[in-house]
Structure 1
Amino acid sequence: MNTLFIADLHLCAQEPAITAGFLRFLQREAVHADALYILGDLFEAWIGDDDPEPLHAEIAAALKMLQQAGTPCYFIHGNRDFLLGKRFAQASGMVLLPEQQVIERYGRKILIMHGDTLCTDDQAYQEFRRKVHNTWLQKLFLALPLRWRLKIAATMRARSQHTNQYKSEAIMDVNPQAVEQAMLRHHVQWLIHGHTHRPAVHQLTLNDTTAHRVVLGAWHTEGSMVKVTAEAVELISFPF
C-alpha cells in the first residue's frame, strides 16, 4: 500500500522524453498505488481547456486509463497550469483540489500544496500571482481568441525567465515563517510541496514536536516522487 506525489513535470511538446517518462511512470508505478497526487505544474503552460494541443489529449487519456485501472488521481494547480479547468479534469478523470489540502494517509496528516504561496519573500511574484488569480481577469483571458492567448502566454513566460535571472536563490525559496504558519494553521507535522525545484526532506520543530517538509524535484533530467507508506515517507528520484 502506498500513495504517490509528483509535481513540476512541465510537460510540453518540445520535451518528448519527459512525456515518455511520465507515461511509463503511470504504467509502472502509479497503477499500483492507492492514489496519485499531482501538486501542480503538470504542464509547462495552460491557456485553456479548449487548446487543441495533441499532447493534452494524450495525457488526459493516460490519466483516464489510470483512474479506470483503480488509482484515483488528484490535482492541485501550479503557477504554470492554474487555468486547467473542469473540462480537462473530466476528460482525464482527475479530481481538482483547492490550493491547500490536508489529507490523511496511513495514520499521517499531510498538508499538500504546489508551494508558490510559501515564497513570500518574492513580493513581485506574489503581487503578480494575486493579479492572475483574479476571477474576472481569468474569464476575460479565456474569452480571447486562442492565438491571442498563445502570444500572451509566450510573452509572460519570456518575461518571467528574464526577471528570475536577476533574483537571488534565497528570495525564490520558501519563507521559513510561512512554512511554519501554514503547518500550524492546519495542525500537521508533514508538508509536501513542489515549485522550488529543490528536492529535499527538511526537519523542523513545531510546538516542541518534530515536523517534516518534503520538497519534490522537477522532472528535468530525471523523475521525482514522494512515496508514502505506513512505514515511511520517501523522496525518490528515478530515470525516465
Structure 2
Amino acid sequence: MAFTYFIADLHLSADRPDITQCLVKFLVNDAPQADALYVLGDLFEAWIGDDDINPFTTHVADAFKQFSETGKPIYFIHGNRDFLIREAFAKRAGFTLLPERTVIDLYGTPTLIMHGDELCTRDVEYQKFRKKARGWWWPRLMLLFPLWKRREIAQKGREKSQSNTSNLQQAIMDVTPEEVVKAMQEANVTRLIHGHTHRPAIHDISVHLAGKSEKAQRIVLGDWYTQGSVLKVSASHIELESRQFQHLE
C-alpha cells in the first residue's frame, strides 16, 4: 500500500540524544517504506544558521541524507524554531525546501500543508515577532552575527518563549478556527495538515468552497518531546502513530 509520512516539532537538540536516536531509527527502519517524507517545521529546538556545523548537526544531516539516497524525497517547511535553515543545510540533508504554505496532491486529495504557527493569531506578541523574523532584514541581520552571539540570542529567545508560554491560556496558543477556515478556503482544499500546537488530533470541520459547505479535515501532528509522533497517510487511511524512545544511560 502506497503511503506518505509527515512529521513535525521534533525539537532536536544535542542534550536530547533520545529524540535523535528515535529519529534515526525511524529514518532507517520505517521511512524507506513510504513514497515521501514531509517535515513540517521545528525539526530543531533552535537553528542559528547553516554555518553552525558541529557533530550534532552533522549527525542529523547525515541521517536524512542517507535516507534520501534510497531515492525517496524529503520535503521541508520552516517552523518558528528553524526558519534560518537555508539551501546549504538542505543540500547536506537531502531536503527540498517548500514555501510556508504548500498544496500537494495527496493520493488524489489536494492537501494544504504548513507548520501552523501563522494560524495562532490570538498569540498577538508571537505574531509580531513572526512578522519580523520572516521579513527580509531580520534574518540577514542575525546571520551577520558570529556564532557565539547567535547562540546567546537563541538561548535568550527560548527562555523568553518558555516564560511567555507558561503565562498564556491554552486557547491563545491553539489555532484560531476562523484562520483555519480562511487558509483552507484560500487554498481551495478540504484537508489541512500542520504542526506547531503539539496537540495531535484529526478534526472534522466544514469549509465553504465554491459557494457551498464541504466536509473537511484538519490534521495536527504531535511533538517529539516524549515520543515520536508520525502521521501516515494513504489513499484510504489516515493514522497518527507514535515511536517510543529508548532509555539512554
- Answer yes or no: same fold by TM over 0.5: yes
Deviations 1:75-129 (A, max 9, x none): 0000000001110001111000010000002111110000000001111110011
**What is residue 62 of structure 1 aligned with on the other side?**
63
Q: 1-side partners of 2:207 and 2:139: how far apart?
A: 37
Q: 2-side partners of 1:236 and 1:34: how far apart?
A: 17
**What is residue 83 of structure 2 aligned with on the other side?**
82
Q: Which runs of 5+ in 1 are unaligned?
A: none
Q: 2-side partners of 1:134 and 1:107: how far apart?
A: 34
**What is residue 223 of structure 1 aligned with on the other side?**
228
**What is residue 130 of structure 1 aligned with on the other side?**
131
How far off its partner does 1:185 sit? 0.7
**What is residue 236 of structure 1 aligned with on the other side?**
241
Alignment of 1:1-80 (within 5 A): 1-80=2-81
Q: 1-side partners of 2:152 and 2:124: how far apart?
A: 26
**What is residue 100 of structure 2 aligned with on the other side?**
99
Q: 2-side partners of 1:18 and 1:231: how far apart?
A: 30
Q: 2-side partners of 1:167 and 1:231: how far apart?
A: 38
TM-score by length of 2: 0.95
How far off its partner does 1:238 sit? 2.7
Q: 1-side partners of 2:92 and 2:125: how far apart?
A: 35
TM-score by length of 1: 0.98
CA RMSD of aligned residues (A): 0.8
Amino acid in structure 1 at the alignment position of 2:240: L
How many residue pairs align between the two structures? 240
Q: Which runs of 5+ in 2 are unaligned?
A: none
Deviates more, 1:88-97 or 1:132-141: 132-141
How far off its partner does 1:177 sit? 0.2
- SS of 2:167's equivalent in the other structure is coil
How far off its partner does 1:57 sit? 0.7
How far off its partner does 1:218 sit? 0.3
Amino acid in structure 1 at the alignment position of 2:218: R
Deviations 1:127-166 (A, max 9, x none): 0111112211211110111111111111111111111111
Amino acid in structure 1 at the alignment position of 2:99: P
How far off its partner does 1:53 sit? 2.7
Deviates more, 1:204-213 or 1:169-178: 204-213
Report if the CA contact (8 A) 1:203-1:211 is conserved.
yes
Q: 2-side partners of 1:237 and 1:205: how far apart?
A: 28
Identity level (%) = 51
Report if the CA contact (8 A) 2:45-2:82 is conserved.
yes
Amino acid in structure 2 at the alignment position of 1:181: K
- SS of 1:225's equivalent in the other structure is strand
Alignment of 1:113-152 (within 5 A): 113-152=114-153
Q: 2-side partners of 1:85 and 1:169: how far apart?
A: 32
Amino acid in structure 2 at the alignment position of 1:24: K
How far off its partner does 1:225 sit? 1.1
- SS of 1:164's equivalent in the other structure is helix
- SS of 1:49's equivalent in the other structure is coil
How far off its partner does 1:29 sit? 1.1
